[in-house]
Structure 1
């Protein structure tokens, strides 16, 4: 058989083999089959809702099914482990949240690396935390609360929905930034913590706006400051922490899409571009707001990766000072 024929057949065989190898997928025909977004939480929650909205909009854009699969448990680590082990071809991705980074410090037995096992794809939601007190609290603004904290005439406490969550992290970071002492009172969920906050059992909390908005609207809670660089449109009369006198205090709950490490860059870039286009759509932004979520400022994959790296560094510093482990 001529050498040229042998080389041609070898090349064809190699191309055929590469087509089945992980990472061989390209954006040219992506997506050619249904895409699965795995969510590590129960249906109906904030992360699940935003994931389903994004999935629905992407399916319209791609003319292809985008399926949300819930794999709840272990604070999202079951779903993350499944995606870390998935083929890196863009057809299985993770929709996760701030807890993804926190799990590095909360759970010492992870089967994956929160950074190296994944490729950042797109940030979808970012909701800053809010400092709230009961409407019956004597503190009308952050300055009054800080003055009382520093006088130390009484013991203060703050509630969260559990050890290692973002509200817990927000409270501990607030203590460090302000040099104050506040007892952390963890609850098994947000509802009872809010009830005790309204009733004066605890003095303050640092929830997301979605968790507090109805209580604020009902006049049961008072918001003192927003942990964001700018004021929120929904709480335009509430100052940022910087405006209220506490510099370098921003913390938020984000939702975003991660792919298995090794996913082709052109596919990652395509998904990122399509997600960012959705986030600029006024109708999508309104739909997210109706869920209690806020559309994130669109980021490129490298920018999202830089955000995750900065966050990990902050959480690492905090974990060195405060026990964030669940046990």
Structure 2
């Protein structure tokens, strides 16, 4: 009798869990963003959130928990209930943090269930529009002349803009001070204000400033020119070889989230990022939608990045300086 009772209880629990998954979502979902409001990651997260809310008929709240290069938000989501109602919107720096942030309160791989990619773009070397440097060659020449000290902004230690700045220094044999911020937006504000000399953000962080004539893009970190910046050369075209790096935005869930819920969110996001409305909205932000991937493909991408970043981090100083 006891065995039968236990079996019946287990069946009830299983049925309840299955129903909860089929009914997902039946209340509001929170997208936790590890960067300041107004930056490229925040902008794309809000587009995804709006589209999911319309599709699900439930509120999708975007919660900004900026700081520590996204690790504050990641730690919060890693410790959240694995039911699909608390998700992390993050970027390439998520994997890089394993090698640059000491004492992480989570495991970059094991604490999360990858769901979907939303954005995939190169980074851009940008200077103040009032800067005397019209191209990469002029900037590199000034850096090598060392007539003044130079600095570059990033959205935080260990982020892709930080990595891009350090690779730029290696490729050009130059030096400059790294100035980390708690997100892309405040860094761009200081670049416009002349506090720092340059930055290597994703296109979404600079579109409004470039359109307003406040920032000047000099080169993109991709093998081909970026569609939204057709007049801007690649670094190879600008005379700096072997300099390709990019930024993705994506959605992760806490580890242990039911596969059925992960699959549903993946399918819904993949449907959204292929719509003309979403692609057009991203384009206005200077971003490009990622190609749809499965959760397994996203996980494989993250695993590959971890191996690549481990090799790079061994050669480049990614600590605060």
Secondary structure of the 1:123 match is: strand
Structure 1 residues 170 and 93: CA distance shift in structure 2, 3 A: same
Structure 1 residues 236 and 32: CA distance shift in structure 2, 3 A: same
1:257 aligns with 2:255: no
Consecutive unaligned residues in structure 1, runs of 5 or more: none
Of stretches 238-247 and 58-67 in structure 1, the one that deviates more from structure 2 is: 238-247
Distance (Å, rounded) in 1 between the aligned partners of 2:15 and 2:162:
47
Structure 1 residues 303 and 37: CA distance shift in structure 2, 3 A: same
Distance (Å, rounded) in 1 between the aligned partners of 2:121 and 2:151:
20
Consecutive unaligned residues in structure 2, runs of 5 or more: none
Query: Which residue does 1:63 correspond to in 2?
Result: 57
Query: Which residue does 1:192 correspond to in 2?
Result: 190
Task: Quote how far apart the aligned CAs of 1:169 are.
Answer: 1.3
1:109 aligns with 2:109: no
Contact 2:101 2:158 in 1 (8 A): no
- Give the aligned CA root-mean-square deviation in angstroms: 3.1
Task: Quote how far apart the aligned CAs of 1:99 are.
Answer: 3.2
1:181 to 160, 169, 174: 174
Query: Which residue does 2:203 correspond to in 1?
Result: 209
Structure 1 residues 126 and 216: CA distance shift in structure 2, 3 A: same
Structure 1 residues 73 and 157: CA distance shift in structure 2, 3 A: closer
Structure 1 residues 57 and 268: CA distance shift in structure 2, 3 A: same
TM-score computed with the length of structure 1 as normaliser: 0.81
Distance (Å, rounded) in 1 between the aligned partners of 2:92 and 2:300:
14
**Residue-by-residue CA offset, 1:90-144 (whole Å, 9 max, x unaligned):** 2221112233223323320111011111111011123321123455666544456
Query: Which residue does 2:75 correspond to in 1?
Result: 81
1:160 aligns with 2:153: yes
Distance (Å, rounded) in 1 between the aligned partners of 2:130 and 2:255:
50
Query: Which residue does 1:16 correspond to in 2?
Result: 12
1:30 to 24, 29, 46: 24
2:261 to 261, 264, 267: 267
Structure 1 residues 14 and 175: CA distance shift in structure 2, 3 A: same
Contact 1:173 1:318 in 2 (8 A): no
Distance (Å, rounded) in 1 between the aligned partners of 2:168 and 2:135:
15
Distance (Å, rounded) in 2 between the aligned partners of 1:274 and 1:16:
28
TM-score computed with the length of structure 2 as normaliser: 0.82
1:317 aligns with 2:315: no
2:122 to 125, 128, 151: 128
Give aligned pairs, total.
Answer: 314
Contact 1:187 1:193 in 2 (8 A): no
Structure 1 residues 105 and 149: CA distance shift in structure 2, 3 A: farther
